[in-house]
Amino acid sequence: MSLTSALTSARNSLSVRATETEIVSRNVAGVNEAGYTLKRANVSTEIGGVRVIGVARNTDNALFQSLVKASADAASRSAVLSGVGTLQQTVDPALGDATPTGRLGALADALTQAAAAPSDQMLAQNAVDKAQDLVRTLQDASATVQQVRTTADADIATSVSNINSLLKQFATVNARVVANTATGKDATTDLDARDKLLTQLSGEIGIRTAVRQNGDMQIYTDGGSTLFDTSPRDVTFAATTSFDTTISGNAVMIDGLPATGPDAVMGVKSGRIFGLAQVRDSIAPAYQGQLDEIARGLISAYSETNTSGDPSSVRAGLFRDGTSTAVPAGPSAGLASRLSIAATVDRKQGGNPFLLRDGGISNPADPAYKFNTTSAASFSDRLRALSTAAEQPQTFATSGGAITSGSLSLYASSSTGWIEGQRQTASTESDQKAAFLDRATLALSAATGVSLDTEMSKMLDLERAYQGSAKIISVVDSMLQSLLQAAG
């Protein structure tokens, strides 16, 4: 090898070592940066020395796709747990008697006490007060359900805004990846940035991806809708400011087609949006239906039939739908929020609590509904009947997992068990998905991340190689100087 060749080889080696040192320095700086992948120089050995032909990064597509799916699943279950957790607070044992089942039991106890002393107006009014407490509890629970739906709807709007922002950022980064890949430039930093955006996006909506020439990427929802293909697709959502039982809420639209809701042909299957839509459109309405059935059961159980026992004469008694004396024949949406007690029996509203004992709550002036025909102060038959009214069998509409037949108290307990079961299931699934996300994150980091010890060791090796190349240059320089002196 000539001295010139040796000098050229050493200079090339120094250039390569400088590039490798810069890459190792980047790796060391990114050791604690989430999503950073190990970079390495691709070195080619050629006649005359070595050169860097590109920069690569550690990747594992299978692990990354697993992370993306885990992120979507964890976000979905977390959203469900948050919504169900709020609903479960309406039946939380920490409330004591301030739950539908607790209030129902308190009413039965108050009526039993009133039956034991039918001439005591305070005990009769106490029973009315307990009925009013039960009404308020159902109204508050109904309001909580609609607030949960309103919050979920607002969170969906936030998610859609996040999705559009992430897709816009993705378009910029993806364009750089394509341009750098096509020209042979280092695209690893942009590839890391793109993966971060994909992970964030998957938290909002379940996705899958496809890669084309020069690293150009397409994004689809896990239901099949296109989110990005050269440019972002339109993701829109019309938020609803407030909810009641008559309002369903709008679907998330992708390119004008529904991605959530019953009309979604290619509906999303995971991500925060999916979980929020479940809470808003399925879980909360099911619980609302149960509350409405409890309200309907109350009106029916405490209704009045005239003394002849004619079924067609039934009227709402202690409980009613607003001010109506009609007894609902079937499910009535929003009934829990409209439930009230009859003003005729409430002393605080100018009524007479002894109507609980005597009958005629629906219309005190109608003698056909008066059970205490002699106005006896010791008459207790009607109060005893009302004290066990919640234990009489009824038929209920299907709503969620509550029973469809049995006593009102049993139905209320079934509803409580259902919502607590929903919370427990959501909590278990959320913990499982979060744990899987942690494992996927650690696995990907182990496969593609940076080991500080390895990089520091590599830095020492590069320093020694650099010193070796510098020594060769020094020796060649010395030899050239000697030749020149000899020739002179």
Domain match, 238 and 329 both: yes
Whether residue 438 contacts residue 34, with contact meaning beta carbons closer than 8 Å, is answered with: no
Quick one: pLDDT at residue 114? 96
Which pLDDT score is estimated for 474?
Answer: 65
Span 72-100, average pLDDT? 93
Least confident of 54-63, 257-266, 284-293, 298-307: 54-63
The pLDDT > 70 percentage for the chain reads 87
- Dihedral of CA atoms 260, 153, 338, 420 in degrees, nearest 10, equals 80
Beta strands 339-341 and 393-395 are unpaired
Q: Let me know if residue 443 belongs to a domain.
A: no
| Judgement on whether residues 321 and 198 belong to the same structural domain of the protein | yes
Residue 40 CB neighbours (<10 A) = 16
User: How many alpha carbons fall within 13 Å on the CB side of residue 39?
Assistant: 25
Mean pLDDT of 146-152: 97
Residue recorded with tokens 């044992």: 93
359 DSSP assignment: B
Tell me which residue of 349, 350, 336, 356 sits closest to 136, measured CA to CA: 336
Q: Does the residue 442 lie in any domain?
A: no
> pLDDT higher for 297 or 4?
297
Asked whether residue 360 falls in the same domain as residue 467, the answer is: no
| pLDDT at residue 438 in the model | 94
Mean per-residue pLDDT, 267-294: 96
Q: Are the beta carbons of 354 and 344 closer than 8 angstroms?
A: no
Amino acid at 223: G
- pLDDT classification of 2: cutoffs 50, 70, 90: low
Question: If you average pLDDT over every residue of the chain, what do you get?
Answer: 89
What average pLDDT does range 57-79 have in this prediction? 94
Over residues 399-418, the pLDDT tens digits come to 777 899 999 999 999 999 99
Helix (H) or strand (E) holding 382: helix 381-387
Tokens 């957790």 belong to which residue? 85
173: left (phi over 0), alpha (psi -120 to 50) or beta: alpha
The pLDDT assigned to 96 comes to: 82
Q: Report the range of poorest mean pLDDT among 37-41, 169-173, 251-255, 260-264.
A: 37-41
Looking at the fold, whether 285 and 252 belong to one and the same domain comes out as yes
Confidence of residue 476 (pLDDT cuts 50, 70, 90): low
pLDDT of residue 278: 96
What value does the mean pLDDT take over residues 294-313? 90
Q: Are residues 46 and 73 in the same domain?
A: no
pLDDT of 207 above 90: yes
pLDDT in tens, 163-203: 999 999 999 999 999 999 999 888 888 999 999 999 999 99
Residue 445 lies in a domain: no
Q: How far is CA 227 from the centre of its chain?
A: 21
Domain identity same for 125 and 165: yes
Q: What is the pLDDT of residue 16?
A: 63
| Alpha carbons 398 and 404: distance in angstroms, whole number | 6
The residues with which 40 forms a beta bridge, in sequence order, are 56
Are 36 and 144 found together in one domain?
no
Q: Is 207 helix (H, G, I), strand (E, B) or coil?
A: strand
The CA distance from 134 to 140, in Å, is 10
Beta bridge partners of 210: 218
For the residues 256-282, what does the mean pLDDT come to? Answer: 94
Q: What is the pLDDT of residues 324-373, one digit of tens each?
A: 999 998 899 999 999 999 999 999 899 999 999 999 999 998 999 999 98
Assigned domain for 312 exists: yes
CA 172 to chain centre: 29
What percent of the residues of the chain are helix, what percent strand, and what percent coil, each to the nearest 5? 60, 10, 30
DSSP lists the bridge partners of residue 405 as 395
Q: Which of 47-61, 62-76, 411-425 has the lowest mean pLDDT?
A: 47-61
Q: What six digits make up the tokens of 472? A: 């060769």
Is 197 within a domain? yes
Q: Which two tokens stand for residue 261?
A: 């809701």
Question: pTM for this structure?
Answer: 0.88
Residue of 373 and 488 predicted with greater confidence = 373
Model confidence at 72: pLDDT above 70: yes
- pLDDT top residue among 16 and 105: 105
Is 335 in the same domain as 480? no
Per-residue confidence band for 234, with pLDDT thresholds at 50, 70 and 90: very high
Chain Cα centroid distance, residue 134: 30
User: Which pLDDT tens digit goes with each residue over 12-52?
Assistant: 566 666 666 777 777 787 788 888 887 787 666 665 565 65
Lowest mean pLDDT across 20-24, 100-104, 372-376: 20-24
Residue 37 lies in a domain: yes
At residue 223, the pLDDT reads 93
**How many Å apart are CA 447 and CA 274, to the nearest integer?**
30
**296 near 332, Cβ under 8 Å?**
yes
Mean pLDDT of the region 459-480: 62
Quick one: tokens of 194?
A: 């793109």
* Residue 27 sits in the same domain as residue 142: no
Strands (E), 322-426: 339-341, 393-395, 405-407
Query: Are residues 186 and 229 both part of a single domain?
Result: yes
Q: Which of the pair, 448 or 287, is modelled with greater confidence? A: 287
Is 441 domain-assigned? Answer: no
3-state SS class at 50: strand
The secondary element (H helix, E strand) that includes residue 4 is helix 3-29
Model pLDDT, residue 67: 95
pLDDT at 13: 60
Cβ-in-10-Å burial (0-12, 13-18, 19+) of 145 comes to buried
Rounded distance between C-alpha atoms, residue 305 and residue 311, angstroms: 7
pLDDT (tens digit per residue) in 445-454: 888 887 777 7
Q: Using alpha carbons, select from 16, 18, 12 the residue that is nearest to residue 47.
A: 12
Q: 480 and 334: one domain?
A: no
Residues 85 and 20 in one domain: no
Residue 420's CB: how many other CB atoms inside 10 A?
Answer: 16
Mean pLDDT score, 448-475: 68
351-370: string of b/e by CB count within 10 Å (b at 16+)? bbbbbbbbbbbbebeeeebb
Domain count, the chain: 2
Q: Domain of 461? A: 3-58+450-487
What string of DSSP letters covers 268-324?
--SSHHHHHHHIIIIIHHHHHHHHHHHHHHHHHHT-B--TT--GGG-B--SEEETT-
CB of 431 within 8 A of CB of 20? no
Question: Residue 312 corresponds to which amino acid?
Answer: S
Question: Per the domain annotation, does 360 fall within a domain?
Answer: yes
Report percent pLDDT > 90 for the chain: 68
